[in-house]
Amino acid sequence: MSDYWIRASEIGDYLYCQRSWWLKRSRGIAPQNVRELEQGTQHHRQHGQRVQQSLWLRRAAFVLIFVVVAFMTYSLMNGGGDKELGN
């Protein structure tokens, strides 16, 4: 049994172009568009960072909504500010 593992990226390579996958795996021939591949990798990294940032902002928004609703509920339960001060 071979100790070589097939990675998910290799499956994607195979599905995209079987010949390219075979050339890389069996012949060790590197792709000629290395610069474009690096740009794509950088683009995906930046996109992943934006997705993570949006998830944290979404969580912060839910916390803020909860705090506002809790404050409004507390305020309504304690007279809602209808009491006059000093009289």
75 domain residue, yes or no: yes
What is the pLDDT at residue 54? 98
- The answer to whether the CB of 61 falls within 8 A of the CB of 54 is no
Q: Tens digits of per-residue pLDDT, 25-61? A: 888 888 888 899 899 889 999 999 999 999 999 999 9
> Is 39 inside a domain boundary?
no
Residue 1 within a domain: yes
Q: For 76, list phi and psi in degrees, rounded to 5.
A: -70, -35
Based on the fold, state whether residues 25 and 50 are members of the same structural domain. no
Domain for residue 87, yes or no? Answer: no
Q: For 52-76, what is the mean pLDDT?
A: 97
DSSP 87: -
Domain that residue 8 falls in: 1-33
The pTM of the full predicted model, rounded to 2 decimals, is: 0.52
Tokens 């909860």 sit on residue: 66
